[in-house]
Chain A
Amino acid sequence: MLVPPVLALLAACGGSATHQARELSQNATSWEATGRLTIKLLRRGAVPGRYAMQTLKVVSRELAKTRQGAQKLSP
């Protein structure tokens, strides 16, 4: 009963460059989408401006981190 989750976890151990690249790409997609949703909701008046500004700052910081990660990965 325990074998499938534990084996699956151990198989995921291999931290290859492809895996890291996929993770970086997921991060970029996620933060870009967060930024887009924040702006959309700000325009609709669904979130306060102060919150939107703070969130967009976080988005830009996280995207910069992702870019740095991608630069380290590229040969």
Chain B
Amino acid sequence: MILGAFLLLASALEPGLARAQPEAPLPSAVAGVVPPRLVGEAAVQYPPGGAGDSVVVLAITVDRSGAVTDARAVSGEEPFVTRAAEAAREFRFEPATRDGRAIAAVIRFEIVFREPPKAAAEASSREPTREPGSPSRPPGAAPAIEVDVRGDRVEPAVATMNRAEVRQLPGAFGDPFRAIEALPGVTPIVSGLPYFYVRGAPPGNVGYYLDGVRVPYLFHIGLGPSVVHPGMVDRVDLYLGGYPSRFGRFAGGIVSGETAAPRPELHAEASVRLFDAGALAETGFAGGRGTVLVGGRYSYTAALLSLLAGDVVLDYRDFQVRGSYALTPKDRVSVFGFGAYDLLGERKDGVLNVLFGTEFYRTDLRYDHDFGKASTVRTAVTLGYDQSRLSEFRNATDRIAGARIEVRHPVSDTVTVRGGADGLLDAYGTSVAFYADPDDPGAARIQRLFPERRDFVVGGWSDVVLDVTRRLQVVPGARVDLFTSGGESALAVGPRVSARFAVTPKVRIVHAYGLAHQPPSFVVPLPGFTPSDLGAGLQKSFQTSAGVEVDLPEAMSASATLFHNAFFDMTDALGTTAGDPGQSFVTRSQGSAAGLEVHVRRSLSKRLGGFVSYTLSRSMRSIGRERFPSSFDRTHVVNAALGYDLGRRWRAGGRLVFYTGAPVMMPSNGLILPPREGSPERHPPFYRVDVRLEKRWRVGKSGVIAVVAEVLNATLSKERVGSRGAGGDSFPVTIPSLGVEGKF
């Protein structure tokens, strides 16, 4: 039996970024815009196997005809999510309008399931009952929770995962950022280690952003949970190549996390796992004009380890603080602070020897203004501090100050102009090596790589979203960046263009092309570790892809994409090393990557969901006359996952990861060697199985408690990496997790 479906808020027009506030007057908040209006009843059956009350929030895309073209779960649990999304696809709306013209829109839609009385349920076989007035209530009269103004179409050539889906992915531990490795185009370095190649681009060329703020690294201690509480993350977008002009300064892929919009009603969640505990809470103030969010995670592995190995110290923690306040219905100021701290060390004679130590902090102060007619502007100032341990109590630091402005303006119903500019100052420092042999080339190399300096980059970007026809969208754009570092400077001009053409309503062709630039980068992203070698030029990549997307029956979808990337002047020490990375940090290489990506999926948040992603690729590097496969080139990479709601709030899932072997590294050990082979010996293939089992209980109207058991690499598979002949080159990583989660 349904009790109600409430249209929460509506609005959302064309691609955009600005967010208004719950209490903002709805249609009038964006002048001239009228949100979609539900036509008829929103009848949703209470699902079989369900128990208790449940709340599902959907993101529903309504096209210009009023038809629902997509319904994704933003929050909720099975089996209610599947039932709600399936039902929502049958809804009919009066389309949103701007100045009287129909436009596409995305709305957030809440469906409240209330468990029917048993007798009634049996009598009616759980036939739905509409809560009087609720579904057809005019949108503006519904209890407003959130206004979410965003694009009606996702960018071409982006893979998106939302939290509701990711938390069901075995081996991801509920972290949206960890789920990236399951997407096509992503090639892992080592199983369990969340650093990866993206279409042949090394980890150091993959940029991480959270709400548009650059993040130096994503995972605690390199392989642990992500440094941002999952409860903050609404979705994660992976741009494999040819990405929008607003992203730049990375020659590989872009991982962009978007935080959930501020919510004035009190909500919270917490988790306790074997190795850490986390919590997040948010509430409103000033009658909902303002919101405050506090979250974080703390690892107590140090205490556990002290019982097992007293000399080992392992500590990690992170925090997130967000405050926002609507000065007027069209003006909002926000501050978002977050950071993380990681420490792995060994204590000897009372002295802590740090083996791995990093920390970073960011504060982003934003001002958003809505000009009306979907024209928005965001100005922001970002401050940051990064620090990592180099060696022997030497730290590399980066003090960051930046400012940016982003503007979006629909010129007409079919043309939207977006643009922005920013400047970023990185003041790098390397603490003095008090106790180092001045002749040590290793110490000198560190000093050359990470000298004290100021890097400054200023750039601008713009693109135009052109709805050429109802079937064809083209987004041409470009960005220009001027980099300066240590007296050197370099100008980068990067044109981009992407297009999506709907051959039929269910079949689309997607193209993306772009030229991307990046200053020299380190092997993997670490706070404060940015090499100084701008004099040898920028890294460059020319990224191309062409693919087809198909909507399949039963809410399934599939895509197949061909890609080819060309790399120039890369600092890919990992991909070109012969086992002597110390010699390769500043070695420049050329390269290319080509392949095919296939993705077939049904949302894991459905009662039965899963996906298969497959990547066939070849990534080559060349240095001088040498041409050889990248050190982590893997011909075949397969990820397959399946999740099923067992009923009685039990849910089980499994995931298979398979990939063929990387080339066997042959370290030179300093020898002068002939050119490397183009077809080297390879390590054997690897597979692993991850499993996840969850039991949930309802608590009150919207509270949930869940016990989650999860194992990454339940098969205890060992992986062979690195050099042949080294005794310890089998690399087994098995991570078990048992935790309790709760939220309301």
Whether chain B is bound by chain A comes out as no
Which B residues are closer than 8 A to A by beta carbons?
A: none
